[in-house]
Amino acid sequence: MSIEGFECAIKVKPIVDWVQEEDEKVCHSCLIKPLVSYYLGTLQESVDPKAKEMEESIKKAWESADLLTIAKELDKIKKEVGDNLRRELVALDCFTQSYKE
């Protein structure tokens, strides 16, 4: 998944902070599932040697069914990857955080 040239129009927050915001118009738990799916797809396409390990850590966090655990894992992954992959993941965060029904 390439997101070249994409410029986020909002200030992207760490996922941990975003999921803890109270907003009646946003269902964080509803939006986290597609975000996790996109993270997994991006990692599967990645040439980063740690990508496979990171996929497994996301799956393990998902199995916990705890929104905060999942959010922490997504944020952790962004800190551990290279700049190009990090930009792609932050773009996915932007899409999710700026989503309006």
Give pLDDT, residue 4: 62
Give pLDDT, residue 49: 84
Using alpha carbons only, give the angle 63, 69, 73 rounded to the nearest 5 degrees: 95
86 within domain boundaries: yes
Residues of the chain whose pLDDT is less than 50? 1-2
Number of domains in the chain: 1
14 within domain boundaries: no
DSSP the chain: ---TT---SS-PPPHHHHHH---TT--HHHHHHHHHHHHHHHHHH---TTHHHHHHHHHHHHHTT-HHHHHHHHHHHHHHS-HHHHHHHHHHHHHHHT---
36 within domain boundaries: yes
Q: Can you tell me the distance from the alpha carbon of 61 to that of 69, in angstroms, rounded to the nearest whole number? A: 6
Task: Provide the domain limits for residue 62.
Answer: 25-97
Give pLDDT, residue 3: 56
6 within domain boundaries: no
17 within domain boundaries: no
